[in-house]
Structure 1
Amino acid sequence: MAKTTRSSSTGSHDNAVQERRAAVERARAWRRTWWAGAAVAVVAVAAGGAFFATRGSGSSATTAGSSAAAPEVGGDLHTVQAVGDALFVGGHAAVAVSHDGGHQWQQVPSLHGADAMGWASTPDAVLVGGHPGLYRSTDAGATFTKATGAGAVADVHALGGTGTTVYLASPKSGLMASTDGGRSWQVRNAQAGRTFMGTILVDPKDPARLITPDLSAALATSSDGGLTWKSLGGPVGAMAVAWNPSDTRQLIAVGMDGAQASSDGGATWRPIDLPKDTSALTYDASGRTLYAGVLEGQSARTFRSTDAGASWTPTA
């Protein structure tokens, strides 16, 4: 009888894992299909040129044709991330960096194919994770090498940290934590995190406070370092979330049903207009500028807002 009980439990666990992975893949497929359909629907010809309208009547950002300054990222744009004075955009195929607020971009050859889904900074390194695993830079993001040994983790879908405390989420391993800047990892919750994706927000004043996008739901939050999680609300099918580093109660998140903002740490949410088809966003280190990223073909187009998302202008 005991043997039968263990077998049933194991089967249920395996089924749950498979369902979580399937949910992630369904969400990704839906997102790619929605973007492609939306792009076709909004293309119009005006004065001999093509333009893309923005989501919502309140947004003023437009994209006139294509720009040589738009860096290649591949068929998905997963992340827009400010690290110090650098702004990164990362997708399935490639990563690019700008040091002038998105005017000019350079590809990061060492992250070609890294599928950058989440970022974290420690006192001596910049970390980025994706399907191939975890990558580390010790030269402020100029070059990256794949983590090996105790620091290696496969299939990283979400990543974030503060100081030497770093968290990552994987559909294979669940939620993992490191207290040595990502040099070694321990499983914190084997069940949570399997549908997380993006950059995990970690409170610099309280490294046990976490907020992360959850593709299978909305935002998820933890107050005990990832041991337990609860829903924080926000947009359904959350893909990215950013908070103002000068006031972490100010949150903006984007999901499959649009974008929402909160000024009280997620207790209440309101709709907000972002550039159409925004899939990733980040605040700069000062908290005065908000960046949003849009996928156009195989390239990323970035926009900036200096009024908390009320209006947007292209960075290039």
Structure 2
Amino acid sequence: MNDTSRTPAAPAEKQKKDSAGRRRRVAAAVAAAVIAVGGGIGLFAATGGKDAATEASGAATSPYVGGDLHILTSLEGRLYVGGHDGGAVSTDGGVTWTQLPSLKGADPMGAAATGEVTLIGGHPGLYRSTDGTSFAKVSGGGALDDVHGLGGSGEIFYASTAEGGLQVSDDGGKNWTTRNTEIGQSFMGVILVDPADPQRLIATDMANGLVTSNDGGRTWEGLGGPGGPMAVTWDPTNTARLVVSGMAESAISSDGGETWAPLTAPEGTTATTFSPDGKTLFAAVRNGTNASVYASTDEGRSWTSLV
């Protein structure tokens, strides 16, 4: 059995006491990790902290998510965080956040993006944006109900629905066909889709643990890791480097899930994501009805509170 136990995470209260100077240094480090990974992924350009203009813009210092926190993900150079009642976006590596009114009540759980379209799924259905910030509920042929998991690469999107199982679109989400009715109903969060091989998928299955497919979701097998997985992410520059976060623990793998080692994450972490260059790991913790977001550049040995 793989050892997925971990040492206790540093208390959230202690982490929140990082000095403003340290926060600026970490934000600058995140900004320095500018990247140009294929597929139109943009750059994180951290501001190093709030200023008067940021305050006036209405950017959220601590994003509102509601009673649950479901997702933290990096898409097209943006960070998204979402939960039961709302979602927010950051374009500066998590230093400042802007609430997304169009996702109020959308219950964001899964997300995917191409260079032109961003999709977010939740209990009410599927939401679409062409600018990454203004979302509208999809209707007509591209609509899906009760979307618990979502991911994609290029024009190929995969969505897990509570009633219909795993759905697939090869035209950027305009149309969907059923791929698998036997598995997918209990997926949650971001479905990882390998940009080098869109048939290779990894998903968190609330019923079966971390699972993977090499044939576009037709068949699946277990991938180990901690029990009760809530979110999985990989280094976009090395998809064999995985991090999975569960209800009680997190773990990291450097060999595509063959073996796992404990990863110390902030207490209460339910979602993690890598920056596009793989140098920064972000973690999100629900704090009341808001989200606290942390960053680590040393695989979880130390964390800095961003908001």
Give the TM-score taking structure 2 as reference length. 0.81
Do 2:72 and 2:79's aligned partners in 1 also have CA atoms closer than 8 Å? Answer: yes
Secondary structure in structure 1 of the residue aligned to 2:79: strand
Once the two structures are TM-superposed, the CA of residue 56 in structure 1 deviates from its matched residue by: 3.3
Q: Does 1:124 align with 2:96?
A: no
Counterpart amino acid of 1:173?
G
In the alignment, the residues of structure 1 paired with residue 284 and residue 105 of structure 2 have an alpha-carbon distance, to the nearest angstrom, of 19
Cα contact 1:177–1:187 (8 A) shared by 2: yes
Q: Select the residue among 190, 195, 215 that pairs with 1:199.
A: 190
Q: Structure 1, unaligned stretches of length 5 or more?
A: 1-54
**Do structure 1's residue 259 and structure 2's residue 212 form an aligned pair?**
no
Amino acid of the structure 2 residue aligned with 1:225:
G
Hey, what's the Cα distance between the residues in 2 that align with 1:199 and 1:146?
19
* Contact 1:103-1:315 at 8 Å conserved across structures: yes
SS of 1:157 mapped into structure 2: strand
Of stretches 94-103 and 267-276 in structure 1, the one that deviates more from structure 2 is 94-103
1:91 to 2:83 alignment: yes
Between structure 1 and structure 2, the one with the greater Rg is 1
Q: 2:215: which partner in 1?
A: 224
CA offset digits 1:238-292 (Å, max 9, x no partner): 1100000010000000112311111100001111110000011111111111110
In the TM superposition, 1:52-131 aligns within 5 A as 56-57=7-8, 59=10, 62-64=15-17, 69-131=61-123
In the alignment, the residues of structure 2 paired with residue 312 and residue 192 of structure 1 have an alpha-carbon distance, to the nearest angstrom, of 36
Deviations 1:199-251 (A, max 9, x none): 00000000000000111232010000000011011111111000000100000
Measure the CA separation in 2 of the matches of 1:115 and 1:57: 30
Does 1:138 find its partner at 2:127?
no
SS in 2 for 1:227: coil
Given that 1:218 and 1:255 are in contact with CA atoms closer than 8 Å, whether structure 2 keeps it comes out as no
Q: Taking structure 1 as reference, are residues 92 and 58 closer, same or farther at Cα in structure 2, changes over 3 Å only?
A: closer
Aligned to 2:235: 244
Match of 2:278 in 1: 287
Is 1:148 the counterpart of 2:130? The answer is no
Secondary structure (helix, strand or coil) at the match of 1:150 reads helix
Give the length in aligned residue pairs: 259
Q: Tell me which amino acid in the other structure corresponds to 1:108.
A: L
CA distance in 2, matches of 1:96, 1:294: 14
User: Does 2:300 correspond to 1:313?
Assistant: no
**Residue correspondence of structure 1 range 157-196 to structure 2 within 5 A:** 157-196=148-187
Is the 2:73–2:79 Cα contact (8 Å) retained in structure 1? yes
Give 1:60 shift: 7.6
Deviating 4+ runs (over 2 angstroms): 55-61
Please, what is the CA RMSD of the aligned residues? 1.6
| Structure 2: distance between partners of 1:168 and 1:111 | 18
Q: Which amino acid aligns with 1:103?
A: V
Give the TM-score, by structure 1 length.
Answer: 0.79
Of stretches 206-215 and 97-106 in structure 1, the one that deviates more from structure 2 is: 97-106
Identity percentage of aligned residues: 51
The separation in 2 between residues aligned to 1:173 and 1:126, in whole angstroms, is 22
SS in 2 for 1:281: strand
User: Which amino acid counterpart does residue 288 of structure 1 have in structure 2?
Assistant: K
Question: Judging changes above 3 Å, is the alpha-carbon distance between structure 1 residues 58 and 115 closer, same or farther for their aligned structure 2 residues?
Answer: closer
Query: Contact between 2:213 and 2:220, CA under 8 Å: does it hold in 1?
Result: yes
> Do structure 1's residue 274 and structure 2's residue 225 form an aligned pair?
no
Structure 2 counterpart of 1:222, which letter? Answer: S
State whether residues 235 and 256 of structure 1, in contact with CA within 8 Å, keep that contact through their aligned partners in structure 2: no
Residue of structure 1 equivalent to 2:42: none
Secondary structure of the corresponding residue to residue 271 of structure 1: strand
Q: 1:272 to 1:301 in 2, by over 3 A?
A: same
Question: Can you give the 5+ residue segments of structure 2 that lack an aligned partner in the other structure?
Answer: 1-5, 19-59
Query: CA separation in 2, counterparts of 1:308 and 1:270?
Result: 11
Amino acid in structure 1 at the alignment position of 2:68: D
